[in-house]
């Protein structure tokens, strides 16, 4: 597997047939190398990237308890995501988010065999990132920020608005990923920057409504570490519905001829 393959090509391989081993190399060794690069390495990249991204995101929230506004968490989340996508994008596609993995899978950019391992790796990365953020923070700051768990929704009257906000913001995020990195007609080398910038503007726009999670792994890690589960389901339902809407738009209307299912 060439390191110069695009992310779309990487996850649209229809078979895992072994390529011919170079002269002097044992076929079995080549097969093990292919298995490692196709299955193990991408999951490790998703685990490490998710841990680093969520560590930075949680730390920015915990250290922002003085009330300096949403700009610090917005920039920290967006810039960290852009960096880890740049670092690991050619290995795993740079998802770091179960909602992104679902939308990419449904638009033909990820093989089904990797969908569940990716989600598990992202959730574990969320736990590691939230745990590291707790380890470097004072207990007082960590407690005041609820460990960076999402605590914006305080009553049942806010549930509807928060769920819709998470759905729309995740739609924006996953649409950016699918159109900039999966759909060949609109793919761009600026995809990491675009995805990171989308996170920044989503947090600035919707942080006061729902916290602007857009990522079940980002919600799950701090919830476990802080044992804070109030309205936690919002940060699964909203993002996953947003991912399904993205897949619908891309498959039916926006995708190129390879992706689109209508009027090919």
Band of pLDDT at residue 9, cut at 50, 70 and 90: very low
Tokens of 118: 């990716």
- The SS3 assignment for 16 reads coil
Burial-class residue 262 by CB neighbours within 10 Å (0-12, 13-18, 19+): exposed
Q: What is the C-alpha to C-alpha distance for residues 221 and 236, in angstroms, rounded to an integer?
A: 13
pLDDT at 25 over 70: no
Q: Give the mean model confidence (pLDDT) for residues 200-209.
A: 97
Q: Which two tokens stand for residue 112?
A: 């089904």
What does the pLDDT read at residue 27?
A: 62
- Do 85 and 48 meet the contact criterion of CB atoms below 8 Å apart? no
Q: Which residue has the higher pLDDT, 30 or 206?
A: 206
- Report the C-alpha gap between 234 and 56 in whole angstroms: 22
Q: Give tens-digit pLDDT for 44-65.
A: 999 999 999 999 999 999 998 6
Return left, alpha or beta for 147; rule: phi > 0 is left, psi -120 to 50 is alpha, else beta.
left
> Where does residue 193 rank: exposed (0-12), middle (13-18), buried (19+ CB within 10 A)?
middle
Task: Place 24 in a pLDDT band, splitting at 50, 70 and 90.
Answer: low
| Predicted confidence band of residue 18 (pLDDT cuts 50, 70, 90) | very low
- Report the length, in residues, of the chain: 264
Return the half-sphere exposure (C-beta side, CA atoms, 13 A cut-off) of residue 12: 16
Evaluate if pTM is beyond 0.85.
Answer: yes
Of 3.30.479.30, 1.10.10.10, 2.40.30.60, 1.20.1080.10, the CATH number of 30-254 is 1.20.1080.10
Q: In the chain, what are the domain boundaries? A: 30-254
List, for residues 90-142, the tens digit of each pLDDT value: 999 999 999 999 999 999 999 999 999 999 999 999 999 999 999 999 999 99
């Amino acid at each position: 597997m060439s390191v110069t393959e695009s992310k779309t090509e990487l996850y649209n391989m229809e078979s895992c047939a072994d390529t011919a081993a170079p002269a002097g190399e044992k076929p079995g060794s080549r097969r093990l190398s292919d298995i490692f690069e196709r299955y193990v390495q991408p999951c490790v990249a998703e685990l490490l990237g998710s841990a680093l991204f969520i560590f930075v995101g949680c730390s920015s929230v915990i250290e922002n308890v003085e009330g300096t506004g949403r700009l610090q968490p917005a920039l920290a989340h967006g810039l960290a995501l852009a960096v880890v996508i740049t670092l690991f994008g050619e290995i795993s596609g740079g998802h770091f988010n179960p909602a992104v993995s679902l939308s990419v899978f449904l638009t033909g950019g990820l093989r089904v065999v990797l969908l569940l391992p990716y989600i598990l790796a992202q959730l574990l990365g969320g736990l590691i990132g939230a745990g590291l953020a707790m380890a470097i923070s004072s207990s007082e700051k960590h407690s005041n920020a609820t460990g960076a768990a999402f605590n914006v929704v305080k009553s049942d009257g806010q549930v509807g608005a928060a769920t819709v906000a998470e759905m729309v913001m995740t739609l924006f995020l996953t649409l950016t990923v699918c159109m900039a990195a999966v759909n060949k007609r609109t793919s761009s080398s600026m995809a990491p920057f675009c995805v990171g910038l989308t996170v920044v503007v989503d947090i600035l726009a919707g942080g006061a409504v729902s916290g602007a999670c857009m990522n079940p792994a980002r919600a799950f890690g701090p919830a476990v570490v802080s044992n804070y589960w109030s309205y936690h389901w919002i940060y699964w339902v909203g993002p996953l519905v947003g991912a399904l809407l993205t897949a619908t738009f891309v498959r039916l209307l926006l995708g190129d001829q390879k992706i689109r299912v209508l009027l090919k």
